[in-house]
Every structure is written in structure tokens, then in C-alpha cells.
Amino acid sequence: MRSLLFVPGDSPRKLAKGLESGADALILDLEDSVAADRKPEARTTSLAFLKEVSAEGRRPRLLVRVNSLDTGLTDADLDAVVAGRPDAILLPKAEGGPSVIHLDAKLAAREALAGLPDGAIGIMAIATETAAALFAAGTYAGASPRLSALTWGAEDLSADIGAETNRDADGNFTGPFRLARSLCVAAAAAARVTALDTVYVDFRNADGLRREAEEARRDGFLGKLAIHPGQVAVINEVFTPSPAEIAKAEAVIAAFAAAPGIGVVGIDGMMYDRPHLERAKRLLARARSP
């Protein structure tokens, strides 16, 4: 998944518009974008949308961001939406593997009640929204086979640590948030799951979005969250391997295949070793994924 678009779970109009955005996934939001008194309505609206859209052949993946485990609202969220069989639950304010294990147990019970196969619904986690979460970033490996991706967040983290802002005058993340970003991509690699970059909140600034997405891709993220449909096209473009990149990856793979057992190959005056081969394989896998 290259682009994952947040959509308020209480807005049928915005949910329908999300389907037309070109995003690889829609995140039906029951958390921050929904006021407390509208959460019951958001659960009902989201379930109806899931049931209507999930059976369609060509559709984006459908995720639901529930409220965090410490709010006491997670159970009601899951009770409402599991029957709609979302592709995954996005867990905010996760604090390491124990949070994923906790959510896994909740999902298993509700899947059984709904007649769904065990493990039918995956888990993605926002791994950096509290200070405590930063110290637990290395504990996701092996927590649950449902876990497929980690992403990170700067807004809740800035509130938790008391930062005045999370970006400098040039729009770049400040030190604590660069650390959180780095911990997320490392935690995802350690857990052998996908790393997804956080939102770019200045949604009218396409150049800033492109720059940040390109930096994220450079550093190992494979996609990016979006808060506005207008951001999706840029994100998809940045995270789609270009024909030149695909050709180069194919050349690296072919060169190693032609010389089995060798550790280094030369192509057009450049030396490539086994890490380059692994990167080439991953790039082609991304290019070929639906």
C-alpha cells in the first residue's frame, strides 16, 4: 500500500468521496476526527459502509482506526465494526507488542462471534504517539501474525511530551520527532512488517508533501498516510517504482542469477553486492503488487 487516506467514520459523503480518491486504502476513523458525542453514529455509519463496499471486486483496502486501548472505547468500536470484516484495525497510541497482543485477543473473540475465520482481520499500529511507546518500539516482533505494518504519529506525541511544536521554521521535524520516525522504521524492519510514514498536515502544500514523501521512501518507508484526497496522487507517484528503477532492479537480479554463488557483480562500471540484490527483489515485489 502506497497511500492510506483517513476518512471520518461519521460522514457518508466523505467516505464515498474517499472511494474516488485513488488511495490504496481508506482508514475509516473512529478516533480523532470524530467528536465524542458522534462516535455511536460513526460506528453505525462505518459498519454500513464496510458491508456495502467490502464485497466489491475492485476497491481500496478498508481499515478502521479505533479509539486507543486506554480510552475504554475500543470494545464498543470493535463490537460495531468486526461484523463488517474490515481488512485491518489501525491501533492508535500503541505501546509495543503487548498492545498488539491485547488487540489480537479482542479481535479473536469477536471474529468467533461473527463467524469469521480466526485472523481474518489484520492489525496495523501507530507506534510513536506517546513517550512510553518510544521505549517499546523494539517489542513488536512476534507479537501477532496479524501485524502487517507500523506507522508513526507526531501530533499526539508532541502533546504527550509537552513540545511547543513538532516542526521547525522550515517545516522539518525537530529532534524528538525525527527520533520517533527513525524508531518506527527500525521497529518495522525488526518485526518484518511494512513501515508507513505519517501524515503531512499542510495538505495544500504539494511540494512539501512530495519532498517529505521522497525522503520517507529514501529511508525505507513504503507508503504514507494522507489526510486529504488531494494528497493521494503525489503519494502514489512517489511510492511507485519508476520504469528506470524496475529495469535496474531486474538487471541486478539477472546478473546474480547468471553467476550463482558469487558475492559481488559489476554492471555498467558499478559494483553490486548481496544487500543490493535484496533491495532489488523488494523493489520488484512492490512494483508487482496489486
Q: Is the pLDDT of residue 289 over 80?
A: no
Q: Is the pLDDT of residue 282 over 90?
A: no
User: How much is the average pLDDT of 246-258?
Assistant: 87
Cα dihedral 107→158→229→196 (10° resolution)? -60
DSSP state of 250: H
Instruction: Name the pairing type of β-strands 264-267 and 270-273.
Output: antiparallel
Q: What is the band of 267 on the pLDDT scale with cuts at 50, 70, 90?
A: confident
Sign for the CA dihedral angle at 38, 203, 211, 169 comes to: negative
Task: Tell me the CB-side half-sphere exposure of residue 235, using CA atoms within 13 A.
Answer: 29
Q: pLDDT tens, 119-165?
A: 999 999 999 999 999 999 999 999 999 999 999 999 999 999 999 99
Q: What is the band of 25 on the pLDDT scale with cuts at 50, 70, 90?
A: very high
Q: Is the pLDDT of residue 3 over 90?
A: yes
Q: Is the pLDDT of residue 57 over 80?
A: no
Output the nine-digit C-alpha cell for 95: 505501546
Q: What is the band of 275 on the pLDDT scale with cuts at 50, 70, 90?
A: confident
Q: What is the band of 84 on the pLDDT scale with cuts at 50, 70, 90?
A: very high
What is the pLDDT at residue 230?
A: 97
Q: pLDDT tens, 46-55?
A: 999 999 998 7
What is the pLDDT at residue 22?
A: 96
What is the pLDDT at residue 266?
A: 86
Cα dihedral 174→175→176→181 (10° resolution)? 80
Strands (E), the chain: 3-8, 25-29, 61-65, 88-91, 122-126, 147-151, 194-197, 223-226, 264-267, 270-273
What does each C-alpha distance from 16 to 29, 40, 45, 92 come to in angstroms? 14, 19, 12, 24
Q: pLDDT tens, 238-251?
A: 999 888 888 888 88
Q: Is the pLDDT of residue 92 over 80?
A: yes
Q: What are phi and psi of 225, to 5 degrees?
A: -80, 150
Q: Which helix (H) or strand (E) holds 288?
A: helix 274-288
Distance between CA atoms of residues 78 and 261, nearest Å: 50
Rg (CA), the chain: 20
Q: Are 9 and 243 in contact (CB under 8 A)?
A: no
DSSP state of 277: H
Q: Is the pLDDT of residue 262 over 90?
A: no
User: How much is the average pLDDT of 193-220?
Assistant: 96
User: How much is the average pLDDT of 173-182?
Assistant: 98
User: How much is the average pLDDT of 58-76?
Assistant: 97
The full set of domain ranges for the chain reads 3-238, 243-288
Q: Are 130 and 95 in contact (CB under 8 A)?
A: yes
What is the pLDDT at residue 290?
A: 62
Fold for domain 3-238?
Answer: TIM Barrel (3.20.20)
User: What residue spans of 59-151 are helical by DSSP H?
Assistant: 74-81, 97-114, 131-135
